[in-house]
Amino acid sequence: MSTAQKTSQFNSGNNKSGKSASATKTNLRRLLVLICAIGLGWVSWFMLDRILVDRSPIIVGILHSQTGPMAVSEQTMIDAEILALEEINAAGGLLGRPVEWIIADGASDWPKFAQQAENLIQEKKVCVIFGCWTSASRKSVLPIIEANDHLLVYPMAYEGLEQSPNIIYTGAAPNQQITPAVQWCHDKLSARRFFLVGSDYIWPHCVNAIISDQLIGLGDELVAEIYVPFGSTNVDDVVKQIVATKPDVVLSAVVGDSAIAFAKKLREAGVRPDKTPVLTFAIGESELRTMSSEDIAGNYASWTYFQSIDRPENVKFVKEFKSRFGEEKSLSGVTEAGYNSVKLWAQAVQETGTDDVGQVRQSLRYQSFNAPGGIVAIDPETQHAWLSVCIGRIRTDGQFDIVWTSKTPVRPVPFPISRTPAAWKKFVQDLYTSWGGKWAAPVGVTNSTVIENSKAKPQ
């Protein structure tokens, strides 16, 4: 081959190599442009998502007593509400947003509850408050909730005689706890002489008024109606009255630390359930955990839930609660009500697609939930819950043997039919006025009344 031919072949090879290198550079530039375009697209989408989609936490308030005489009862409500919120976050939160909670201590003090509610709404900007136990605390919080057009979910059995558009009541109304228990005592315990005792604040006074009306209808006798100063453990006089009058049954609306002292003093005085049973509306499994079984076993309680309910949903609930808060913990009616309250609210948020207070409040009126104790549904007319009713006998292990149940959920009736709603509202207002504009009686104001050999009379 000549030198010219070799040179020509070499140049041809160089040209091919140059074209190949040029093509590679072009393809690389195209790839880089594509990568940049994709990256820019992702950045743009991310920024647009952050602008258009709210990823900020949903803030809720929990308002219960962590200190004072009611702390023994209210702590389990806090635990249950936290458990429900943690489950919600573990499932991805609500509307793509995490839920955060702020716990405020009502400190077993009614004015403190009102202050804390105001702070949660105005300063912390919560979109709902789960809270209160006593009716005095709820009554103190109610004006704050209504003035701010806000939302309180109240997870406690109570006396009824109230209906606010700003409250969802997930605990029992009187026809779901009080009146079934009185009827059961009359039918199953053959009780004809009833002794009523309660802590000296709004709930027990209203409960006893409802019972007194019912006793008239049954033709039974009201032996006594006595009140213990709120938080007091001095119950000796009450116990003496019970020993002296020998009623067929004692109905107790004594709460918190007072209830623990009351049970102990009764046993020390020889008052036992085989002769004079006590049926309580305020002691559940949580309180029993702090008491000696010798002080209370054999007596009864009326609630809408007991830990011993045999349902797969309840077995799962109890297991998860104990795993989170400790095997030694006990669950009670207020535990389940607190848990249900959060779950019902979360469903309303998902349904409305917003945490807006007004829209969620409206949606809550139509929610239902397969709760640990059975189906719970909010009645849209009253904003109270349909609930099943249970009466249990206290065991030595701090649990209950269920001796009676309604079997199906009972429609809530906030205003018992023995009086008109107007008459009940006047009764409540008169108590408030007579107590100097407070929801609990000043110490020494309420007189203990013993009614010997007479039928019950309307209050």
Q: What is the pLDDT of residues 247-285, one digit of tens each?
A: 999 999 999 889 999 999 999 999 999 999 999 999 999
Adjacent-strand bridge partners of 97: 94
Residue 2 lies in a domain: no
Query: In which order are the strands placed within the sheet that holds 390-394?
Result: 400-405, 390-394, 300-303, 278-280, 249-253, 193-199, 221-228, 449-450
Judge if 155 and 212 occupy the same domain: no
Judge if 318 and 179 occupy the same domain: no
pLDDT of residue 10: 44
Judge if 334 and 191 occupy the same domain: no
Residue 395 lies in a domain: yes
* Torsion region of 160: left, alpha or beta (phi above 0 gives left; psi -120 to 50 gives alpha): left
pLDDT of residue 119: 98
CATH number at residue 396: 3.40.50.2300
Write out residues in the chain with pLDDT < 50, as ranges.
Answer: 4, 6-8, 10, 48-49, 445, 447, 450-459
Judge if 320 and 304 occupy the same domain: no
Judge if 182 and 66 occupy the same domain: no
Q: What pTM, to 2 d.p., does this model score?
A: 0.84
Residue 213 lies in a domain: yes
Judge if 376 and 435 occupy the same domain: no
pLDDT of residue 45: 52
Number of domains forming the structure of the chain: 2
Judge if 248 and 396 occupy the same domain: yes
Residue 427 lies in a domain: yes
Judge if 168 and 190 occupy the same domain: no
Question: Domain residues for 331?
Answer: 58-172+311-386
Of the residues 366, 386, 406, the one at which a domain ends: 386
In Å, the largest CA–CA distance within the chain is 142
Judge if 280 and 300 occupy the same domain: yes
Judge if 305 and 422 occupy the same domain: yes
Of the residues 361, 386, 411, the one at which a domain ends: 386
Backbone angles phi, psi at 161, to 5 degrees: 60, 25
Residue 44 lies in a domain: no
* Residue whose pair of structure tokens reads 């002292």 in the numeric block: 261
Residue 36 lies in a domain: no
- Residues 55 and 285: their CA atoms lie apart, in Å, by 40
Residue 25 lies in a domain: no
Judge if 299 and 151 occupy the same domain: no
Of the residues 341, 358, 386, the one at which a domain ends: 386
- Residues 164 and 365: their CA atoms lie apart, in Å, by 12
Residue 49 lies in a domain: no
Give the DSSP H/E element, type plus range, for residue 254: none
pLDDT of residue 37: 65
Judge if 304 and 412 occupy the same domain: yes
pLDDT of residue 1: 54
- Residues 357 and 348: their CA atoms lie apart, in Å, by 10
DSSP for 127-142, written as a single string = S-EEE--SHHHHHHHH
